[in-house]
């Protein structure tokens, strides 16, 4: 059973398109996150939701919009895709905001390529 | 910005202990030290974390200095599968893990 699953695994799309990445966790965690890993391999947090409430919103272009229909799902919608959006996007979840006991569980990533 | 400093790369012989250092001189009293690793393009994997005391689990040991300004992750018997980027992260209760550049550990046969 996959704890944090993301779909799709690979996404190739043209500039200007709108796309969504889905994330689901079956761990019963309360908090979910989106991270972006760019070509230089830096991992940066983008958003975090706790029980469907947005709690972290880093400096991210407003073309990126997270949506959490319930605490087990956190989707990422990207409008008007740009070349610079090409990256690997990781979803993660944790039991609580600070995740003292077990840390974050990350998904396997979605490699987005904008051409 | 990351609040930790790690060497960019290290080598370790297979079967030997890998000791990965981390400096976090500005750590606050309520902040934990976390270690994660990322094996080639996979999602980061939680290894261990601690506040003040040394910690051990099935994957590794974490040694935190008494002043908490530095720590060492120990993989007791490194295998080729331990080749990865290891991230040392200091975080409080904001729920925000800030990843630095990490240490690329190469385990060699």
| Section B65-93 average pLDDT | 94
Q: Is B8 on the interface with A (CB under 8 A)?
A: no
Q: How far is B33 from chain A (nearest CA, A)?
A: 10
Phi-psi region of B95 (alpha: psi -120 to 50; beta: other; left: phi over 0): left
- Residues of chain B in contact with residue A100, where contact means CB-CB under 8 angstroms, are 32, 49
Cβ–Cβ < 8 Å for A45, A35? yes
Quote the CA–CA distance of B104 and B109 in Å, as a whole number.
16
pLDDT tens profile B30-59: 888 999 999 988 999 999 999 998 999 999
Query: What would the two tokens of residue A11 be?
Result: 């996404």
User: pLDDT tens for residues A8-18?
Assistant: 999 999 999 99
A100 has a pLDDT exceeding 60: no
**Is B91 part of the contact surface with chain A (CB cutoff 8 Å)?**
yes
Tell me the shortest Cα–Cα distance from B108 to chain A, in angstroms. Answer: 23
Taking an 8 Å cut-off on Cβ atoms, the answer to whether B46 and A41 are in contact is no
Q: Is B35 on the interface with A (CB under 8 A)?
A: no
Chain A contact present for B44, CB below 8 A: yes
| Separation in Å, CA of A77 to nearest CA in chain B | 20
* Whether residue B68 has pLDDT greater than 70: yes
Asked if A99 lies within 8 A of B36 by C-beta distance, the reply is no
A90-104, B13-27, B70-84: lowest mean pLDDT where? Answer: A90-104
Identify the three-state secondary structure at position B82. Answer: helix
Query: In this predicted structure, what is the pLDDT of residue B36?
Result: 95
Of A90, A99, A105, the CB nearest to B95: A99
Contact B92 A106 (CB under 8 A): no
DSSP state of B43: P
* Nearest CA distance, B59 vs chain A (angstrom): 13
Environment class of residue B40 by beta-carbon count within 10 Å: exposed (0-12), middle (13-18) or buried (19+)? exposed
């Amino acid at each position: 059973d996959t704890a944090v699953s993301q779909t799709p695994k690979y996404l190739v799309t043209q500039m200007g398109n709108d796309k969504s990445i889905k994330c689901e966790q079956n761990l019963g965690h309360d908090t979910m996150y989106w991270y972006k890993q760019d070509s230089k391999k830096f991992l940066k947090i983008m958003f975090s939701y706790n029980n469907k409430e947005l709690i972290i919103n880093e400096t991210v272009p407003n073309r990126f919009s997270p949506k959490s229909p319930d605490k087990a799902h956190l989707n990422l919608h990207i409008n008007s895709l740009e070349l610079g959006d090409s990256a690997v996007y990781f979803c993660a979840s944790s039991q609580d905001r600070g995740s003292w006991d077990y840390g974050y569980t990350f998904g396997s990533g979605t490699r987005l390529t904008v051409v | 910005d990351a609040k930790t400093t790690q060497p960019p790369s290290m080598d370790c012989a297979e079967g030997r202990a890998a000791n990965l250092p981390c400096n976090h001189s500005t750590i606050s009293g309520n902040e934990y030290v976390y270690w994660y690793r990322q094996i080639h393009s996979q999602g980061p994997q939680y290894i261990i974390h601690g506040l003040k005391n040394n910690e051990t689990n099935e994957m590794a040991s974490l040694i935190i200095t008494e002043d908490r300004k530095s720590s060492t992750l120990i993989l007791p018997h490194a295998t080729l599968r331990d080749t990865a980027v290891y991230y040392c992260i200091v975080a409080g209760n904001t729920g925000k893990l800030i990843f630095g550049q990490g240490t690329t550990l190469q385990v060699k046969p």
